[in-house]
Each structure stands twice: as structure tokens, then as C-alpha cells.
Amino acid sequence: MALGILGRKVGMTQVFDEQGRAVPVTVVQAGPCHVLQVRTLERDGYEAIQVGYLDMPRHRVSRAARGHVAQLDSKGQRKRAAAGLQPIPKANCEPKRYIREFRGAGDGLSVGQVLSVEVLNGVSAVDVTATTKGRGFAGVIKRHGFSGQRATHGVKKVHRHPGGTGCNTSPGRVVPGRKMAGHLGNVRRTVRNLKVVKIDPQADLLVVRGAIPGPNGGLVIVRPSNKVG
Amino acid sequence: MNKQELMAAVEQPCLKSEVPYFEVGDTVDIHCRIVEGNNERIQIFNGVVIARSGSGTREMFTVRRIVQGEGVERKFPLHSPFVAKIEVKRAAIVRRAKLYYLRDRVGKAVRLRERRPDQMKKRQNREAFWLRQQAAKSQKRSETTA
């Protein structure tokens, strides 16, 4: 089973299933991703595969980023060659905009291999991780779903306020964890167990049932769901 | 492919290949497929199209009729498999995209000005334009899939 794949949220729409019911779906353009590194227990202390998604123009990235994906001529390389050491395997692709790691044994995967959405073939549900839309400083109604106060009956200028936050002299403080206004959104969130509706390898499309975090065009990390049942 | 093309690729299999041309103001017969257990039958809902909205698989239209003096509106997904057939019975001259003003009317005032055969010219032009658009769309689709 594949460890996962990177993609971009395209947008939401609806499709009709075999029974004719409308199913809300999110379209994700997933892959193609290059495997840039395979991390092993011996060398790195943990197992993972590192994948890159979306090309960047070479002149826009640093030499280090170029050297990460392709063999460059450098002093270190020449030294290593002179010492008779194998050059570190490189993917030999364009520099990547997004580079992420998937923990787990990359069995059979080697550096330079291209992952397409087909790695999710046979997967019935996925977990999707992305950064939610930032809402800035939000009040308690929007942020925590508080009910607010009445519109009338003497309520003055505090219609969307949280109301009381605690007791009196005892304990004489606000207990930690009190829900208050503050920054909302722009955090990493995972939506689990989204059913896979369709996989279209020709257009690199993955269609899942339901919503996923983030704006259209945002990076999403798709993994086969580890949720049981 | 850009966003529109990707979305179209997903929606395309769910779109009906043939949708009749109809406008807001038309009186239509909607043949609804109704599934009861294992039986399936067709029920006809007749009324005036008072609104159309959305695009692609999400296109919806609203049909209003008067049943026993009470206004009844049903909103259908245009491409739903449960909408088996749409028949245009009459066309009317309307000057709005949404005929929500019919909700405030009762009795004779609900009637719309019917389009007589000699007044069909404009409608036919619109229909021809729509058909050309559809043809262009399907051609584009076949090009992208080829």
C-alpha cells in the first residue's frame, strides 16, 4: 500500500452515484510526485520517503535546492568521487515547490520514481491533511460556536460577547482553557476517512466524498486512511 | 489543465447528454422517477419554471404550480437521474430571470402572457444560440478526451 501522495485542492462539486443520489465531492489534483529521498533506519534513524510535488523554475531556486534533486558538479562531489565513494542517488528531476515526507517503510520505492494517483488504486478511504483557511482574529461566536446574547431586552453593545468567564472571589481567576476570542484558522488539520469516489490517472485526479481543509489551489497531503471500519 | 477543465472532467460523466431547451416562464411537465421499494414509476409534476440556477452538475431549476389553491414549488437538479424527462408545454413572455413575484399573486394574476406562435422568433434565436453553444462544448470535450 502506498504511503501517500501530495496534491492540490481543485474545488468542490457534486456527482450522482449509481442510485442517483447527489454526492458532494472535492476534486484533488494528486501527483505526479517524484521520490526525492528514501530514509532508512540505518542511515537516518527512521523510515520514510520524501516526495516532491510541482516543478519550480531552476533559476528561481537556490543551488542547494537544485543539488537536492539532481547531480551537480561541486567540490564535495569531486572529493567523494576521488575517494571512490558512490554519489548519493538523486531523482534527476526539476526542483520541487513542495517537499514532504511520509513516515513508513518505502518498500520497493527508489529515488527518482514517479508516484501518480494510481498509487491509491484499491484504497477505499483516505485521510487528507491541509492548512485551513485563516480567519484572523475571530470572536467566540465564529470561533467556538457560542450563542451570543439577546438582541433586545436591555442587552447593550454586547450581542456577540462571550458573557461571564468565571466565578467570584473563589477561585478568583479564570480557569485555564476558557474559550475566548482569538486567532482562528490557518492551522494544519486532518480530515479522516474520506471515501474515494473516483481515481482518474489520465488527468491525475482524485475525487473524494466531502470537504477538505484549505482554499482551492492549496497543498493537500493524501494518505490511505488508517481508520478502522 | 486549469481548474475549469479539471472540474469539467469530473462532472462530465454525470451530465445528461441530452437536455431539452427550456426557459424561465415555460410551462413544463417534469417526469419524475419515483422508487418505492423495488417498484419504479413515473410521476408528472406540471408547472411554471420560475428560476434556474447553477451550472454543471449543480444546475437546478424551480417549478411552481398551484394545487388546490395552495402554491407548491419543487426544485429539481437538472442532471439528476430522477428527472426522467422534461417536456415544454407552453412558453411565456417574461422580463425577469427569476419569477419570484408569482409567489405574491393568486388567482388570475398568476397567469403569464403566453408567447403566440408569431412571437416565437426571439425564443427560437435564443434556442439556436444555446444549441450552438452546446455543440461547441461537446466538441471541445471530445477534443480534450481524444
Residue spans of the domains in chain A: they are 5-130+188-224, 135-184
Inform me whether the pLDDT recorded for A229 exceeds 70: no
Architecture per CATH, domain A5-130+188-224, reads as: 2-Layer Sandwich (3.30)
Q: Among all chains, which residue has been given the C-alpha cell 501527483? A: A31
d(CA A147, CA A32): 45
Q: How confident is the model at residue A160 (pLDDT cuts 50, 70, 90)?
A: very high
pLDDT band at A105 (very low <50, low <70, confident <90, very high): confident
Mind listing the pLDDT tens digit for each residue in A51-81?
999 999 999 999 888 888 888 888 888 888 8
pLDDT at B107: 81
Examine the pLDDT at A37 and tell me if it is beyond 70.
yes
Instruction: Supply the pLDDT for residue A108.
Output: 78
**How do residues B23-44 score in pLDDT, each as one tens digit?**
898 899 999 998 888 888 999 9
Predicted confidence at residue B146, as pLDDT, reads 56
3-state class (DSSP) for residue B107: helix
A206 lies within 8 A of chain B by CB: no
Residue of chain A nearest B5, judged by CA positions: A203
Min distance B58 CA to chain A CA atoms (Å): 7
Predicted pLDDT of residue B15: 83
The 10s digit of each residue's pLDDT in B48-94 is: 999 999 988 899 999 999 998 889 999 999 999 999 889 998 888 88
Look up residue B44 and give its amino acid.
I
Q: How confident is the model at residue A153 (pLDDT cuts 50, 70, 90)?
A: very high
Q: Is the pLDDT of residue B112 over 80?
A: no
pLDDT given at position B145? 63
Supply the pLDDT for residue A216.
93
pTM of the model: 0.83
Residue of B nearest to A216 (CA): B3
Whether B141 has its CB under 8 Å from any CB of chain A: the answer is no
pLDDT above 60 for A1 = no
pLDDT recorded at residue A138: 95
